[in-house]
Amino acid sequence: MPGVVIVGAQWGDEGKGKVVDLLAEQADLVIRFQGGNNAGHTIVREGETFKFHLIPSGILYPGKLCAIGNGVVVDPVVLTQEIDELRRRRVDLRGLRISANAHLIMPYHKLLDQEGEAKLGKLQIGTTRRGIGPCYADKAARLGIRMQDLLDENILRKKIYAAMEPKRLMLRPYAKSPELDLHTMTEEYRTHGHRLEQFIADTPPIAWRALDEGGLVVFEGAQGALLDIDHGTYPFVTSSNTVAAAAGPGAGVGPGALDEVWGIAKAYTTRVGAGPFPTELEGPLGDQIRESGGEFGTTTGRARRTGWLDLVALKYAARINGLTGLVVTKLDVLTGIDPLHIGVRYLGPEGATFDDFPYHQSIVHRVHGDYVELPGWHEDIRGCRSVDELPANAQAYLDYIAESLGVPVVMIGVGPGREQMIWTEAAEPLRPAAA
């Protein structure tokens, strides 16, 4: 069994959590490799709803090894809450591991995120305000505080002092705020350290061992390709690499460990926060998709922007990730929309056309989609359990996407339930015998 990377192929919220959850059942290890509690997903298990921001949802399988890799930025307040909630619901946490090298989101990161956005005014990114950007900035500046630092009070205090000193000016409005008091913060984070200590581990060897033994390792990504800090619609991106290759440094394995790369895409497109969106639908149809797709954020509750499937962006995502398989989620949301449109190129000012995703920010901001029209379907597809059961027009829609990308469709989502994910033959050898 191989290493499989699960990544978002659009602007996040594609339904990665559900795919990871399905694969987790047979996995020997699930490990997250980037992002933080800007991500979030909901899992319904035996009628109970669980919301996750940091811990891989695989934890719901008793004893399953689930790791938060070194590439993740961890808010210990959120993590301890998540652990408490799972304990309260009697979930077995024996399999939880947290990388000792994962960086910590500190109170000043959250304040700087809010301040930074407020200062940008109209130019704001629309971040989740969870402190993600400032935390990764400190990591790169070598002023980060890591999980392992929680275990030594002296080191912790010195590092917090060193990290806060250069930020004094920007934090001036909060100078008297108790949460920024060095002593209080050190105490509070020490307390988190005591509570998390039993889970702190050296995570890369856990992944090596599982791979050496021929196990299935699922590398769980967050956000999506177009939010990647290098390849996304910068500066309207998150502060980490979201592409599949980031699983290497983010989990501590080499590229050879990443055998399969599955990109998750909705049958249409959504985006939260500001930034370009060439196939956006602003009108009743966009509202209809938002309503029927339940397009409101798990993390911030914000309404998502909606639009047609964008093949220019998806082709780009396939290349920058090296996709070996595509999961198309929420196909049922398109039922009854006839005809359907798919963006196949961009049209720019003065008649310019773009078959490939433009690298220049000013161009991406000014283009809009040029579409092919495909016939829709009206049958309720939520009960379909194989590709053959889907209406011909739904199959044709999927074939069009797969052929344009040169990537096979491995799974299709036709509703929110676990049983509503259809595995295709292209999903071998990961498809469980029963599916």
Binding footprint of ligand IMP on the chain (CB under 6 A): 11-13, 38-39, 125-128, 130, 132-133, 222-223, 227, 236, 238-239, 272-273
The stretches of 89-142 forming alpha helices (DSSP H) are 107-120, 132-140
Looking at the Cβ atoms of 124 and 292, the one nearer to ligand IMP is 124
Looking at the Cβ atoms of 39 and 410, the one nearer to ligand IMP is 39
Looking at the Cβ atoms of 95 and 263, the one nearer to ligand IMP is 263
C-alpha of 396 from chain center: 28
**Least separation in angstroms between CB 192 and ligand IMP:** 21
Among 13, 75, 113, 332, the one annotated catalytic? 13
Looking at the Cβ atoms of 11 and 316, the one nearer to ligand IMP is 11
Closest residue to ligand IMP using C-beta atoms: 273
Looking at the Cβ atoms of 226 and 334, the one nearer to ligand IMP is 226
Concatenated DSSP letters of 205-250:
HHHHHHHHTT--EEEE--S-GGG-TTTSSTTSS-SS--SGGGHHHH
* Distance of alpha carbon 39 from alpha carbon 29, whole angstroms: 20
The stretches of 239-391 forming alpha helices (DSSP H) are 247-251, 284-292, 311-321, 361-366
**Least separation in angstroms between CB 117 and ligand IMP:** 9
Which pair of tokens denotes residue 158?
């010195």
Annotation says 341 is catalytic? no
- Specify the DSSP class assigned to residue 419: G
| Nearest partner of 224 among 188, 257, 197, 264, judged by Cα | 264
Among 28, 41, 192, 341, the one annotated catalytic? 41
**Least separation in angstroms between CB 127 and ligand IMP:** 4
User: Angle, nearest 10°, between helix axes 107-120 and 132-140?
Assistant: 110
**Least separation in angstroms between CB 302 and ligand IMP:** 7
Phi (first) and psi of residue 186, to 5 degrees: -60, -45
**Least separation in angstroms between CB 54 and ligand IMP:** 12
Helix (H) or strand (E) holding 20: helix 16-24
C-alpha of 117 from chain center: 21
Looking at the Cβ atoms of 236 and 262, the one nearer to ligand IMP is 236
Q: What's the burial of 267, exposed, middle or buried (CB within 10 Å: 0-12/13-18/19+)?
A: buried
Annotation says 109 is catalytic? no
* Distance of alpha carbon 42 from alpha carbon 128, whole angstroms: 17
Looking at the Cβ atoms of 239 and 269, the one nearer to ligand IMP is 239
**Least separation in angstroms between CB 321 and ligand IMP:** 16
Residue with tokens 């997903």: 41
* Distance of alpha carbon 113 from alpha carbon 124, whole angstroms: 11
* Cβ contacts of 122 within 8 Å, gap of 6 or more: none
**Least separation in angstroms between CB 12 and ligand IMP:** 3
Residues marked as catalytic: 13, 41
